[in-house]
Structures are given as structure tokens and as C-alpha cells.
Amino acid sequence: MTTPEALAQIRSLTQARLTLGSRGRSADTATTLRFALDHAQARAAVLSELDVPRIAANLGQAGLAHHIVTSAADTRDSFVRRPDLGRMLPEGAAESLRGDGGPVDVALVLGDGLSAIAAALNGAAFMTALATRLRNCGLSHGPVILARQARVALGDGIAQALQADIVVMALGERPGLSAADSLGVYITHQGSCQPGQTTPDSTRNCLSNIRAAGLSVDEAAAQALTLILAMGDTGQSGVALSKALAARALVKGD
């Protein structure tokens, strides 16, 4: 029969929902209800709204100002069905952001994305860790923009309004069945963007799986800073940045 050691060994290989023990014709009640609960939690994360007071309080404790925007997708339902609206600022929002100052070196944006829970759990800590590192390198960042109903490309319009060279967009990743708290970070040099045109994903650098059981907030902030400094040096981001860095490594190697 199956020993606890053997089961632990199997579980260490994969998180797949294997049938351990007896193998019936249908999944047993405990398995079925566990699956339903995991799905309910993933759905709750998708439908959750950005907890602005909590995030703002955490940012405030770290001495960081914030500014709130909502994308052109004004409701959660519209956000899910219309990704195009989630990438756009509504009329007047850019002017209002401009009034907040600028230009800055780096625009910091924290959005809900597909899991506002992830943004609430790890977003303020990530922004605090990154902002500290930026200031230590003499880079300016302005207030953290808290973005509701936000897709990645919403950051481009925000960066243009703030006259920022580089935008860091952190938002909740699409929840899987086992994790709904994963934060993703997309960093884009605005030299790659043209106003009014879609910015290709190949011009973005991405850090993913930032959560308690994944990439730590501090490690993510350190990696983000490295990318930002490289973007500042090369004026590139995404695939072009990788190519520029590879070329430079070749030159150094000579």
C-alpha cells in the first residue's frame, strides 16, 4: 500500500491533481469540493476591485504619494470583455495626470489587472522597494499611479502624460487554480512607443510570479532596477534591449 513517504515523493514531483489512493469511476466528494473552492477563489480574485484605501495607506506609510485613475473600461465586466478599453485612459485623465507634475525618469503604475487581490497583497511593498532603489540611483519617479480596470498598455498613456522615459506597470496576473496572488511587472522604455499606436509586447520586459511562494518582492525590485538602468543606458527595452546587451557583452568580450 501507499506509504506517506511515497505520497510525499509523488507530491514533490508535481502539483497536478493526481488521483492518489483508490481510483474510483468519478472524483470523490472532497476532491470535487476542493476544486470548486479553488475556482471560486480564482473567480473572486478576477472580479475583485482594487483596494485603494489599503494600498494608499501602505504607500503613505512609506512616504509615497499616489494618484488614482480608472481606464476607459469603467466596470469590471467591461474590463474583462473589452481589453481595448482597459488599455486606454478616458478623456481628460491625461490632462489631470499632467497637472501632477513631471517630467519624471520613471512612471510607477500599480494596476488591478486580472487579480486586484495580488495588487493589494504585494503591490505596495513592491512599489516601495523599487522607489527606494530608484531614488538611491538618483532617478525621479513621481507619485504612484493606482490604476483601476487596467491592462498592461494603460501604462504607456500614463507615462506619456507624466513625460516619463520608462514606465513600470505592476498588476495582478490571471489567476490559476492554485494561485490568485501573483503579481506581474512590465517595464517599457517609451522610446519604443508611439502615441496612438499599439506598443508591441516585444518591447516590454516582464517579471512574473511575484508572490509569497514565488519571486520575492525585494528580488523583483532588484531585477526591475537592473532592467531600468540598462534601459536608461541603451534607450531600448524588450527584445531590442536583450540584443543591445548581448552586443555589448560581445564588444566587452573582445
Mapped onto helix, strand or coil, the DSSP state of residue 189 is strand
Q: Of 33, 37, 39, 219, which one interacts with other proteins (CB under 8 A)?
A: 39
Within 148-207, which residues bind other proteins (CB under 8 A)?
Answer: 174-178, 198
Assess 43 for contact with other proteins (CB under 8 A): yes
Q: How far is the CB of 102 from other proteins (least distance, A)?
A: 31
Q: What are the Cα distances from residue 228, in Å, to 171, 235, 253?
A: 18, 10, 23
DSSP 202: G
Q: Say how many C-beta atoms besides its own lie within 10 A of residue 14's C-beta.
A: 8
- The least CB distance from residue 19 to other proteins, in Å, is 6
Report the nearest approach of other proteins to the CB of residue 195 (Å): 18
Rounded CA-CA distance 210/217 in Å is 6
Q: Which residue stretch of 11-19, 138-146, 184-192, 210-218 sits at the interface with other proteins (rule: CB under 8 A)?
A: 11-19
- Rounded to whole angstroms, the Cα distance separating 247 from 229 reads 17
Q: Which is nearer to other proteins, 21 or 99 (CB)?
A: 21
All three cell numbers of 155, joined, read 501604462
Which spans of this chain sit near other proteins (rule: CB under 8 A)? 1-2, 6-7, 9-10, 13-21, 23, 25-27, 31, 35-36, 38-39, 42-43, 45-46, 80-84, 114, 174-178, 198
